Structure 1
Amino acid sequence: MKIIILGAGRVGQSVADSLASERNDITVIDTDAARLRDLESRFDLRGVVGSGTEPAVLAEAGAHDTDLLIACAAQDETNLVCCKIAQLVFNIPTRIARVRSSGFALDERLTGPDGFAVSRIICPEESLTRYIGKLIEYPEAMQVRMFAGGRACLVAVRARVGAPMVNHSIGELRDANPEMAMRMVAIYRRFPDEPDRFVACDGNTRIEPGDEVFVLAAHEHVAGVLAALHRPQSQPAHPVRRIMVAGGGRVGLRLARQLSQTAGRFHIKIIESDAQRCVELASVLPSEVLVLQGDATDEDLLGDEGIEEVDLFLALTDDDEDNIMSCLLAKRMGARRVLALINRRSYADLMHGTQIDIALSPAQAMLGELLAYVRQGDVQAVHSLRRGVAEALEIVARGDRKSSRVVGRQVCDLHLPRDVHMGLIVRGVPDLVDKTTAAVAANAPASAQGDPQVIIPRSTTVIESNDHVVFFLPHKRLVRDVEKLFRVSATFF
């Protein structure tokens, strides 16, 4: 696929990194020549110096035969104008714009063909807020990803000593819980003096303490699965109530607003170093949200504010080092769980598996929304996992037995690559018009949906047309094989 990316900032670099590794033809436009040279030296892509609002620059980037434009420059206005030019002058089929302002997403007249002609609006801050909200809802989880309109979830959880499912084989767990719609699709195991290693899951695989376990489950079973892997039966559930946020920027403000909508549910404190920003936060947030001026790496401040009673400490500033240090300090002083927002991928890799419970990359949180447009076939949702190495993919089976390699066939007859794990089948999902509609529905509450059937596929399970099939792929290079298998062909018999 031929793709133009406007903006070589943090989001643009992360998107380019992911897409260039999949043999796409990538061109990045930016006004900073030094930044583009750095990208060209690290990735297989081409840089064009200039403004994306100039047709001549877009033409130089190859807009005449481009399949996808991703406008993620710093300014909303630049991204919107670029999308309109891409439609009017170059007729680029799909145009995605990063827009921070919420007003555009609420009025389709502004983003429709007669407006700025944006196929899909993405907002990294909104994606982060939504993702953190899921981690608050499921406090034992390290990751939570939604599929099939919220009816199925992929969760990652650290197995703990004494939990009911730990030190048992997957086959034993399956026999003990036949009614539970869940499947363990991957385990990443710690080994001394080397990185975590992927362990393929079959009936004989035993779950050991310290394993990072990926489980696909029906929405209603997620809480039970997490509890069975993460805490002993005698230990009561400990929901998140007390939250401390370091950093009152866009993400911190969005999160505080979202959490404070349910009055009395959370006790929220925000620590912000800038005095003027503190005044702004206090003026727009409800009175029950306490805004404090100070440094989140100040041990005395954290102690005075009762860090040892905090259920979740969130470091959401723009400084990776401050986020890492404040999380380590908060954890040492007694915070139950800590999350650090880390932009640098190398830092996130270093922090994974340390005292920091969750190292979250802003770009990784929203990358799946972009990947769904790059994937071939009827891909409804894509989630990048393990810092971009692995991937979870929801794809819809289309056609009939004559036109499809999967419809009407048993799972055992499908020619899947060896390491690809088919986790769940969701049957009876209402057909969605496009991927934008699918992305919106994926974040809707499951209770608001109908009653589709979540199926754990066995070797004799027959794939039906319109089934939503969720896969776990430990390596991104396997994606093309799955897409090819599900592609409908008029000449296939």
Structure 2
Amino acid sequence: MRIIIVGAGEVGFHISRRLAVENKEVVVVDRSADALKRVAEATDVQTIEGSGCSPQVLSDAGVEGADILLAVTDSDEVNILSCFYANRLSPKTTKLARLRSADYTNHSELLTGDGLNIAKIINPDQEVVDSILRLMSVPGAMEISEFAQGKIRLSGINLPDQSPLIGTRLLNLREHIGDVPLVIAAIVRDNTLIIPSGADEVRQGDVVYLAYDIKDQEDILERLGVTAEPLRKVLIIGGGNIGYKLAKSLDNKFYHTRILEQDPRRCDWLSERLDRPIVLMGNGTDQEVLSQENVGDLDLVIAVTGDEETNILSCVLAKSLGTKSTITRINNFAYMPLIEPIGIDHLVCPRLSAINSLLHFIRRGQVISTASIKGEEAEALEAIAQENSEIVGKPIMDLGFPRGCLVLCFQRGDEVVIPRGDTVIEPQDRLIILSTRQNIPKVEKALDVKMEFF
């Protein structure tokens, strides 16, 4: 598979690094020699210096023979032009574009039709809003991904000390929580990801990733001892695209929402477009402002300005003043390991959301969605079992997946199935498979009918 990535920023850098590990042929195009040098030093990919919206540069990159073009620069206009010229030079190449401005995303039909033929428009801001709303729906959740049109959830939950799961070997799971259908997909312990076996034990402080049917969520959380007061009082720091979209989503009677923005003109703009949320002018890093707004009485503070240092400091200040929970938006992947130790409860990352949205187009086999687990250490794939695939007609225990690969659950018709070892996969089953990054190529081969199984 040959993939051209236009843009060597954070998204282009990290997705090229992931794909190179999987032995895909990757070409990265960017105007910045420094950005390309960073890519070349970190991974084995080809780099071309030049504009991604230049027909000559795209031709030099081999767009005519490429399977996929990813346009992921920070400029919507450059990404659109890249797809336009790629479509003229190579109509059969699948084109994916990262676009943020509502001027374009509100008219996506003009971009995905015959004119540009873009297969998918990635709006990382909307992905982040959706991630925050999911986190708000599950007490104690550190990370939540959805599959099968929202019917299946994979939730990373920080278990309370009194949970009956603490000290339990997975082999004895049913004895402690009953027969509610769920599977423990992964455990994060001391910042290390573990793909568990039946002999593994859940310990205090673990973050446990659970796969389950969303209709069983309330029952599962209750049996695990995960309880919390509902979130009602929310402060959003930052009134940009993400802050506005989030406030709009919370614009109802259930939430008492305030949004803090320091630009007076943006405050006026927000006030005109929001009904129930209260718009305040001020800086989220000003302790006096936060104290005046009684931030210590709030259930949740969400910092989503365009400056990640501001977001981090705002959340640390809010926690010091007594806020129950915080969510911060970051873009720099290097900051991810620092968030939990300094007391911030959750993070959301637009660039990681963009990567997750792009990856399933790159996977072989009928992969229809993907989600990264704990940054980039593992990946959950949602895939359709094809009739001629080697995995169809076999019990799960006979698939021969290496350690680090698990079939978590699947949807068959309208039913969500938590499989056993003797469960046989049938054509059109909608599988959710968890795999460490190193084993992704093996999973792809298993799903692709054209490839020899393992």
Question: So what's the TM-score if we normalise by structure 1?
Answer: 0.86
2:145 is the counterpart of 1:145: yes
> Hey, what does 1:289 align to over in structure 2?
277
2:43 is the counterpart of 1:58: no
Change (3 A) 1:312 1:18: farther
The answer (yes or no) to whether the contact 1:69–1:92 under 8 Å persists in 2 is no
- For the residues of structure 1 that align with 2:82 and 2:125, how far apart are their CA atoms? 21
> Hey, what does 1:268 align to over in structure 2?
257
- For the residues of structure 2 that align with 1:361 and 1:491, how far apart are their CA atoms? 36
Q: Post-superposition shift, 1:356?
A: 0.9
The answer (yes or no) to whether the contact 2:371–2:379 under 8 Å persists in 1 is yes
Unaligned runs of 5+ in 2: none
**Cα shift readout 1:86-133 (whole Å, capped 9, x = no counterpart):** 111223420001122446556564124422211111111011111111
Change (3 A) 1:285 1:459: same
> Which of 414, 418, 422 is residue 460 of structure 1 equivalent to?
422
2:448 is the counterpart of 1:487: yes
> Which of 215, 223, 236 is residue 220 of structure 1 equivalent to?
215
- For the residues of structure 1 that align with 2:253 and 2:451, how far apart are their CA atoms? 58
Equivalent position amino acid for 2:209 in 1 = F
- For the residues of structure 2 that align with 1:175 and 1:101, how far apart are their CA atoms? 51
Q: Post-superposition shift, 1:280?
A: 2.1
> Hey, what does 1:119 align to over in structure 2?
119
Equivalent position amino acid for 2:271 in 1 = A
Unaligned runs of 5+ in 1: 191-195, 429-451
> Greater RCO between the two (CA within 8 Å, min separation 6)?
1
Instruction: Please state whether the residue corresponding to 2:361 is helix, strand or coil.
Output: helix
- For the residues of structure 1 that align with 2:333 and 2:35, how far apart are their CA atoms? 17
2:347 is the counterpart of 1:347: no
> Hey, what does 1:476 align to over in structure 2?
437
Instruction: Please state whether the residue corresponding to 1:314 is helix, strand or coil.
Output: strand
2:379 is the counterpart of 1:418: no
**Cα shift readout 1:343-362 (whole Å, capped 9, x = no counterpart):** 11111122235411112222
Instruction: Please state whether the residue corresponding to 2:185 is helix, strand or coil.
Output: strand
Instruction: Please state whether the residue corresponding to 1:119 is helix, strand or coil.
Output: strand
The answer (yes or no) to whether the contact 2:6–2:71 under 8 Å persists in 1 is yes
* Alignment: residue pair count: 453
> Which of 376, 380, 384 is residue 368 of structure 2 equivalent to?
380
Equivalent position amino acid for 1:478 in 2 = N
- For the residues of structure 2 that align with 1:351 and 1:491, how far apart are their CA atoms? 42
The answer (yes or no) to whether the contact 2:152–2:416 under 8 Å persists in 1 is yes
Change (3 A) 1:114 1:421: closer
> Hey, what does 2:181 align to over in structure 1?
181
> Which of 259, 267, 279 is residue 250 of structure 2 equivalent to?
259
The answer (yes or no) to whether the contact 1:51–1:57 under 8 Å persists in 2 is yes
Q: Post-superposition shift, 1:46?
A: 2.9
2:228 is the counterpart of 1:237: yes
- For the residues of structure 1 that align with 2:451 and 2:285, how far apart are their CA atoms? 62
Instruction: Please state whether the residue corresponding to 1:149 is helix, strand or coil.
Output: coil
Equivalent position amino acid for 2:441 in 1 = R
- How do 1:387-398 residues align onto structure 2 when only pairs under 5 Å count? 387-398=375-386
Equivalent position amino acid for 1:157 in 2 = I
Change (3 A) 1:76 1:489: closer
Q: Post-superposition shift, 1:489?
A: 4.7
**Cα shift readout 1:258-284 (whole Å, capped 9, x = no counterpart):** 221xx2111111122222222222222
> Hey, what does 1:357 align to over in structure 2?
345
- For the residues of structure 2 that align with 1:332 and 1:299, how far apart are their CA atoms? 10
2:239 is the counterpart of 1:248: yes
- For the residues of structure 1 that align with 2:24 and 2:80, how far apart are their CA atoms? 24
**Cα shift readout 1:354-380 (whole Å, capped 9, x = no counterpart):** 411112222112322111011111112
- For the residues of structure 2 that align with 1:298 and 1:490, how far apart are their CA atoms? 58
2:367 is the counterpart of 1:405: no
Question: So what's the TM-score if we normalise by structure 2?
Answer: 0.93
Instruction: Please state whether the residue corresponding to 2:379 is helix, strand or coil.
Output: strand
Change (3 A) 1:462 1:178: farther
Change (3 A) 1:272 1:40: same
Q: Which moved more, 1:307-316 or 1:107-116?
A: 107-116
Equivalent position amino acid for 2:217 in 1 = V
Q: Post-superposition shift, 1:177?
A: 4.5
> Hey, what does 1:335 align to over in structure 2?
323
> Hey, what does 1:366 align to over in structure 2?
354
The answer (yes or no) to whether the contact 1:142–1:158 under 8 Å persists in 2 is yes
Equivalent position amino acid for 1:151 in 2 = K
- For the residues of structure 2 that align with 1:57 and 1:488, how far apart are their CA atoms? 35
Change (3 A) 1:238 1:483: same
Q: Post-superposition shift, 1:47?
A: 2.8
Q: Which moved more, 1:94-103 or 1:12-21?
A: 12-21
Identity rate, percent:
32
- For the residues of structure 2 that align with 1:344 and 1:491, how far apart are their CA atoms? 39
The answer (yes or no) to whether the contact 1:109–1:115 under 8 Å persists in 2 is no
> Hey, what does 1:436 align to over in structure 2?
none
- How do 1:431-446 residues align onto structure 2 when only pairs under 5 Å count? none
- For the residues of structure 2 that align with 1:255 and 1:374, how far apart are their CA atoms? 30
**Cα shift readout 1:408-456 (whole Å, capped 9, x = no counterpart):** 121222111122122112111xxxxxxxxxxxxxxxxxxxxxxx11111
- For the residues of structure 2 that align with 1:275 and 1:200, how far apart are their CA atoms? 49
- For the residues of structure 2 that align with 1:176 and 1:267, how far apart are their CA atoms? 38
Change (3 A) 1:377 1:175: same
- For the residues of structure 1 that align with 2:53 and 2:194, how far apart are their CA atoms? 48
- For the residues of structure 1 that align with 2:249 and 2:13, how far apart are their CA atoms? 29
Instruction: Please state whether the residue corresponding to 1:38 is helix, strand or coil.
Output: helix
Q: Post-superposition shift, 1:479?
A: 1.0
Change (3 A) 1:152 1:7: same
2:10 is the counterpart of 1:10: yes
**Cα shift readout 1:184-232 (whole Å, capped 9, x = no counterpart):** 1111112xxxxx233342334332221010110111122333344453x
